[in-house]
Amino acid sequence: MINCNRRDGSARAVNEVAERLARRGHDVHLFARKAEDLDLGLIRWHRVGGPTWPEVADFGSYHLLVNQWLKRNDFDIVHSIGCNTLAANVVTIQNIQPAKMKILKWQAEREKVSPPRRFTRWLYLRTTSRAESRLYTAQPGRPSPLFLPVSRGVAAELTEYYSIGDAPVRIIPNAADTAIFHPISPAERRCWREANGLRPDDLVCIFSGGEWGRKGLDYAIEAIARIRRPEVKLFVAGDDPDRARFHAQAAALDVADRVVFGGFRGDVATALAASDLFLFPSHYEAFSLASIEAAACGLPIVAPRINGTEDFIQPGETGVFVEHDAAQIASALEPLLADSTLRRAMGENARALVEKHYTWDRIAAMTEDAYLEHLERLRAQRENA
């Protein structure tokens, strides 16, 4: 992983699983530029130098160095997030670049992006797509890696875009830390709302993340504008370089006082738990960590049928599917906003589903099992060669 922390979704997954595997007695090494929020008493960190900007230089230099270093080491498992190294024999797939590129191309046509930024983004996606193809496409004489897509949708994209041959595929989803993301008391809820300019009786839809265009914030803002109830608010946790466009949209729709742009949060778990539902009309995800964490906080999930949500949302039980249409989203929100008992029941079901299937302890155990099965498969292949 290029940078490990608990802010970025992919990096957070690395930290959570790596620490748990180390506690299970495995010798865990991490090759990364940065290692933040990680117990380095358990994990040996190999610092990888190189340029960190632009993204294509960050990825390219890391990719080159780590490929060389891993050739000189003998690890049982080389686990990569995506195509970070060609030496990987286990690959967690958080997204498929060609699939994501379709959405980003559409998004770029709507954004005000400078030509240099547009070019570096294009070059990064082209470079990482080529690296994906080299690693994911089956090659004669090379053992196939074990692919661990995080959702059924990503697994389908993997085989749609790449000829993986007989490579094993095992879906291991993202998860939430249920000790951090959990429901809070009414007193905590009131305190957080007061500190953030919200009333106790407001009905708060929360949106969380960056890349607002891809994640459909414009649909969320318009949907709130269509619900002509002053107590219905949208709280936006996160930030985006194109923030001015969304502020202008809220003002143009006369809901600037009902859309709270909260910025990057150190208290996102409390922000989620103090809200009433999670509104996330994203165009493309692998398996949104924010959605699982919102569910862990006891919120109904309102999102389109995309990768991850189609695995998690049970309509009427843990959330509601919506379209990329503001009028339809507003219509879907109305019953939830009108019925606190329904919201509470959905939120409790969502929390229970996370506790059963989407905890990091379970994901670490699934990962360990996948490692052992894959090592046995490789051993059998060597013996039969």
Strand runs (DSSP E) across the chain, as ranges?
3-4, 29-32, 34-35, 44-47, 79-81, 90-93, 146-149, 203-208, 232-237, 259-263, 277-279, 301-303, 319-321
Q: What is the pLDDT of residue 113?
A: 67
Residues 211 and 331 in one domain: yes
Tell which residue, 64, 68, 32, 69, has the closest CA to residue 131. Answer: 64
Q: Residue range 275-296: average pLDDT?
A: 96
Residues 319 and 269 in one domain: yes
Cβ neighbours, 10 Å, residue 241: 13
Cα angle value 177/183/186 (rounded, 5°): 155
CB burial of residue 135 (10 Å; 0-12, 13-18, 19+): buried
> In this structure, is residue 54 part of a structural domain?
yes
- Please give the tally of structural domains in the chain: 2
- Out of 117-131, 202-216, 292-306, 349-363, pick the least confident: 117-131
How sure is the predictor about 382, in pLDDT bands with cuts at 50, 70 and 90? confident
Residues 224 and 292 in one domain: yes
How sure is the predictor about 336, in pLDDT bands with cuts at 50, 70 and 90? very high
Q: Which of the 8 DSSP states describes residue 73?
A: S
- The answer to whether residue 112 scores a pLDDT higher than 90 is no
By the 8 A CB rule, do 205 and 276 touch? yes
Residues 312 and 330 in one domain: yes
Residues 124 and 256 in one domain: no
The boundaries of the domain holding residue 336 are: 186-357
- The answer to whether residue 238 scores a pLDDT higher than 80 is yes
Residues 292 and 239 in one domain: yes
- Out of 165-174, 207-216, 298-307, 374-383, pick the least confident: 374-383
Sole residue written with tokens 């994911």: 136
Residues 35 and 143 in one domain: yes
d(CA 61, CA 53): 10
Q: What share of the chain in percent tops pLDDT 70?
A: 98
Residues 201 and 242 in one domain: yes
> Where is 161: in which H helix or E strand?
helix 152-161
CATH, residue 200: 3.40.50.2000
CA distances 220 to 236, 264, 359, Å, are: 10, 18, 28
Cα angle value 194/206/202 (rounded, 5°): 45
Residues 347 and 203 in one domain: yes
Residues 160 and 87 in one domain: yes
pTM: 0.93
Per-residue pLDDT reduced to its tens digit, 138-192: 999 888 999 999 999 999 999 999 999 999 999 999 999 999 999 999 999 999 9
CA distances 187 to 200, 234, 235, 260, 270, Å, are: 10, 21, 19, 21, 12
Sole residue written with tokens 């070059």: 123
- Out of 7-21, 36-50, 231-245, pick the least confident: 7-21
At 356, list the tokens: 């059963």
d(CA 193, CA 1): 36
> In this structure, is residue 38 part of a structural domain?
yes
> In this structure, is residue 83 part of a structural domain?
yes
Per-residue pLDDT reduced to its tens digit, 215-235: 999 999 999 999 999 999 999
CB burial of residue 47 (10 Å; 0-12, 13-18, 19+): exposed
d(CA 12, CA 220): 26
